[in-house]
Structure 1
Amino acid sequence: MTGWNASDIPDQSGRTAVVTGANSGIGYVTARELARRGARVILACRSEERGTRALGLLLSEVPSAEVEFRRLDLGDLSSVREFAESYDRDEAGGGGLDLLVNNAGVMALPYRQTVDGFESQFGVNHLGHFALTGLLLPRLLRTPGARIVTVSSAFHALGNIDIDDLNSERNYRRWIAYGRSKTANLLFVHELARRLAASGSDVVAAAAHPGYAETNLQAAGPKMEGRRIAERVMWLGNRALAQPAAAGALPSLYAATARGVRPDSFTGPRVLGWQGAPGKSWRAKWTLNDAVAQRLWAASEGLTGVRYSGSSPSGD
């Protein structure tokens, strides 16, 4: 593969990064490569067992890494608040936060609700990260050159959000709900970038997607329901068609570290949005709709109880 790759990541010494969902897949690779280039990396994961295992694996691959595990369940707003509060408490008197990678997610699950009663895909993929970013934003605003990277998906093209039915209570279709949650990610980045620019901040809010990368996401839904044939099909599809997680992580790493990344940009694989080196990605026009982005923002603040400080309130 030609083009930008992990060897092109600039030196990250002295920088601190939080990567959600860093226990496996593209999240793990993102955390590992940032640590390899000198960043201090916090693995923010729901499962203590899997997070601790990932920590051990990463240290075996990069013995010099400065890395730690902290528990974060994006499907539980009390856990999100606890993570942010513990970060502020443990980092008191220290530096800011250079990089937040909103990577964790769930895909095409049967209908479930988060601890707080939100449809699980919208709740985890969007609302959890909306709350986390807002709570960590003061740290990011104090850090010159900080970035916020939110991982969306090419599957955002499956549908625009329904602002009147954000939790899919009227009609739940798992893949449509997944696409809408990924659209919500892009609308969030769009509005966050606008607000940061209006406030004069140099924090860059950008989005990325991995194309079709081999991860645990694809088979999670069928496995949860015991649909063994569907789970096997997903596994075979990954083996035959997907690029490895190491390649899928490159767009996230590019958006997080490459020079010249623009606010509200969307980086993905260059070859049909499927695989290859990272580059500018197509996005549906509805993900650039200012009015819808602002309505989603207001709804997200109401649902999570998290109001942003330090970004422009205009448009509220």
Structure 2
Amino acid sequence: MTVRFFFCFIFAGFAALTGACDQQAGSGSLKSSDGVWEMRYQDAVGQSYLNILELRQDGSYATHMQDGTPSDGGSYTISNNIIHFESAYDPRLSRDIAFTRPNASTLEMAIPGLLPVSAEWRRSELKPLFETATVNGREIPLDLPELVASALATQAIPWREDAWPTWIFVAESPIGRAKLTLTFYSRSSGDMLRLDLSKYAMRSFENDGSRFFQEPLPAQFVDLTDIMEKAKNDGVAGALNTAEMRVFGTAGPAWMLATNGPVGVTYSAQTGARLDGDVTGYIAQYESDWDKLGEIWREAMRKYEKSPDKDDPFTQEPYKSTYQKECEARIDADWVAGQCRVR
């Protein structure tokens, strides 16, 4: 496997690797080759990689690459042991690849180059971390309540026994794949565990949680796909760009959706009801802070106006503002109490 991949990298390069090592076919029929295929290997320094190819019954394909090779997707057809991949994202990745099927669980793909080498893929038993549905052209993760419960049990609690989930964030990759971030908080340590998930990969990070979300999410909540359906029925325009669920100060647990339409929208994660207004409390806090600052300066001005000493150095000619000088030069205006007033 290592030798095959080495030749694949040398002769085909990154683009050809995606075209060859990511593209696979069956023994001449779509039905015999659809499913999930994997290639596992180690590089020269012992780093392990897992690349996944999905060949779907509808004639579409998707690659999920962990070795730096671009992931891809599009449509494929098979004819006379040649599989044609038509990339939906990069025309340079569209190509015809010869293949053989040594047995039902193995697929060998010819690699373009000077030597007759091939890349071996095997049928995979690996289950994806999450399944997806397509809504308005966007991949949306399915069954998020179950996924969060599973991540809590298998990842967060072994990390910290008192961990609880605090944030769900859904976005998309440059080629339209769903990306998912989950965070968990430990009250005893003040630490945060972050899980970045794609369909077939996970990365975990531990950080200081003191400045991040700490309120626990409910054990049961409305799934994102149901929220998207409600948004569609409410006439929310545009495809989903990002979605986040957390506990908001004035609304409790809520889904906040940002679309490529003119406005976003927020829904209760417990009831599914649409929430209007500022659920974050940011606007109210912002206005309150400005009111407090304004009052401080108004009080300072009141004290200044009551002062009997009006020998203000700023009133001297060399220090007058350009605005004041321009006002005093006008024949239709007067400079009064720091303002230019038109007669």
Task: Indicate whether the TM-score tops 0.5.
Answer: no
Higher helix share: 1
**Greater relative contact order structure (CA < 8 Å, 6+ sep):** 1
Higher strand share: 2
Q: TM-score, normalised by structure 2?
A: 0.21
Q: TM-score, normalised by structure 1?
A: 0.22
The structure with the larger Rg is 2
